[in-house]
Amino acid sequence: MSRDDACGKRPRLLVVANRLPVSAKRTGENSWSLEMSPGGKFNLLGGVTAQFDTKWVGWPGFDVYNEVEKNALSKSLAEMKCIPVFLNEVFDQYYNGYSNGILWPILHHMGLPQEDDHDDTNKTFQTKYDAYKKANRMFLDVVIENYEEGDIVWCQDYHLMFLPQYLKEYNKKIKVGWFLHSPFPSSDVYKTLPSRSELLRSVLTADLLGFHTYDFARNFVSTCTRILGVEGTHEGVVDQGRVTRVAVLPMGIDPDRFIKACKLPEVIQHMNELKDRFSGKKVILGVDRLDMIKGIPQKYLGFEKFLEENPNWRDKVVLVQIAVPTRNGVSEYGKVKNQVHGLVGRINGRFGSVSSVPIHHLDRSVHSNYLCALYAIADVMLVTSLRDGLNLVSHEFVACQEAKRGVLILSEFAGAGQSLGAGALLVNPWNVTEVSSAIKEALNMPAEEREKRHRVNFQYVKTHSAKKWGLDFLSELNDAFAESEMQIRK
């Protein structure tokens, strides 16, 4: 597609996501700090903005009720190409309640949460669902205020499943894309969701739907055929002659950012300190949000089994786990935190000594330069997600391993397992014996084999960047929109 419109201007793109690519924190009345957040889908920014005049629409990160404050914050964010959606009192039930309390577990094959009183469950379900719809309408209002004819609107993720329908109802000429960053489950799991049909019907109004893997796309299409009785074709979903195109487009990172970071003096200094700190030991690294889907308990059980069966390794290996706190408003996250803490205590108690601690568990995030140093010095990266849309952490590790050629152990249930599987050791995280054996194999792997595996994955990470992902999606969206315009004219 031609990236320029007739006047030679860049086409306008509105990316709508729950979070803005800016981490905003309130520091006092009428004051806040704003910082660009690197990583995740925000990688898109660097890659796509050269060709598209891009603006982000999203929740700013905290409540703002006062009109003066709203105007001031909007002005500061505008300088960063961001437009806030003030969700305020709707936020809790929309984000903690429906998006992360109901949709997130369903999409990750975990089923609906159980509550003791059935009536209460239905009542709270309805409240959460209503808040979710209301929040989606609030996103719509902000998009409409900023929309200009010809704009592309790209909706991101499970938080915004009603937005495509609301946009098309407002104006069916808007080019609408939607990308799901999480898995899409099999229809047997998805169909337990009370609001199953409405959500599917809404996303199907978009012109293009994107998924990270072929499996997620296939699950989505067959779920639509089973629940809605529509037709699934190689192109996507057909309902009464209208085609909604479905594409498989795995996301990537900005590899150069990580490759360059590993050469920064500050990162090299962190690397040297870490090498001294762990001298004589191999380092296994884990970096995850502390989410049940990340399988941190399963990771610890696999590591415990490894220490149990390989006493010769006990004081020669450490597992460093960065467990970034997340979604504190959802009770399930508190439970997994307690479970993980219990396991760390047990394993360190069983296998530690006065001079050596097997698991270094951190309940916090670390600075991006420190993270790059950890990625670069690690001998093994251990990713044991029980389900994961993609897992960009595995890409980041590979990008930082040009000097070391460490081994990636990767869950077969992470989307990245389908793209980095050739160079990684794939494991079923539920099988502790398999995880333990993979740790042993990784620690003993000869340099030649590590080199071979690293090369394959490094090549993939370099070529399948976030920029490519973004541009490919937008190009397909353009084609899909043009095709549906033609269908309408026929």
- Nearest residue by C-beta to ligand G6P? 181
The answer to whether 262 touches 403, Cβ cutoff 8 Å, is yes
Q: How far is the CB of 406 from ligand G6P (least distance, A)?
A: 24
What are the tokens at 381?
């990266």
Q: How far is the CB of 169 from ligand G6P (least distance, A)?
A: 24
Q: How far is the CB of 59 from ligand G6P (least distance, A)?
A: 9
Q: How far is the CB of 107 from ligand G6P (least distance, A)?
A: 9
Measure the CA dihedral 69/73/75/80, to 10°. Answer: 180
Closer of 95 and 313 to ligand G6P (Cβ):
95
What is the helix (H) or strand (E) element at residue 82, kind and residue range? strand 82-84
Helices 331-351 & 296-309 angle (0-180, nearest 10): 10
Q: How far is the CB of 235 from ligand G6P (least distance, A)?
A: 25
Closer of 19 and 245 to ligand G6P (Cβ):
19
Q: How far is the CB of 161 from ligand G6P (least distance, A)?
A: 12
Q: How far is the CB of 282 from ligand G6P (least distance, A)?
A: 29
Q: How far is C-alpha 180 from the geometric centre of its chain's CA atoms?
A: 9
Closer of 11 and 415 to ligand G6P (Cβ):
415
Residue 370: closest CA among 264, 252, 254: 264
Closer of 414 and 471 to ligand G6P (Cβ):
414
Interacting residues of 374 by C-beta distance below 8 A, sequence separation 6+: 270, 274, 285, 287, 320, 322, 366
Closer of 287 and 432 to ligand G6P (Cβ):
287
What is the side-by-side order of every strand in the sheet holding 231-232?
A: 82-84, 53-59, 12-19, 152-156, 175-179, 208-211, 242-248, 236-239, 231-232
Closer of 179 and 460 to ligand G6P (Cβ):
179
What is the helix (H) or strand (E) element at residue 339, kind and residue range? helix 331-351
Closer of 96 and 298 to ligand G6P (Cβ):
96
Residue 403: closest CA among 423, 373, 424, 432: 373
Q: How far is the CB of 289 from ligand G6P (least distance, A)?
A: 6
Q: How far is the CB of 335 from ligand G6P (least distance, A)?
A: 17
Closer of 157 and 207 to ligand G6P (Cβ):
157
Pairing status of strand 231-232 against strand 236-239: antiparallel
d(CA 176, CA 13): 10
Interacting residues of 111 by C-beta distance below 8 A, sequence separation 6+: 105, 189, 192
Closer of 18 and 136 to ligand G6P (Cβ):
18
Interacting residues of 390 by C-beta distance below 8 A, sequence separation 6+: 181, 212, 250, 251, 414, 415, 416
Q: Assign 3-class secondary structure to 27-69.
A: EECCEEEEEECCCHHHHHHHHHCCCCEEEEEEECCCCCCCHHH
Closer of 185 and 406 to ligand G6P (Cβ):
185
Amino acid occupying residue 435: V
Residue 396: closest CA among 422, 418, 378: 378
Q: How far is the CB of 181 from ligand G6P (least distance, A)?
A: 4
What burial letters (b/e) apply to 318-329, b meaning 16+ CB within 10 Å? bbbbbbeeebee
User: Using CB under 6 A as the criterion, which residues of the chain lie in contact with ligand G6P when the complex forms?
Assistant: 18-19, 157, 181-182, 326-327, 389
Phi then psi dihedrals of residue 479, to 5 deg: -65, -45
Closer of 209 and 230 to ligand G6P (Cβ):
209
Q: How far is the CB of 487 from ligand G6P (least distance, A)?
A: 32
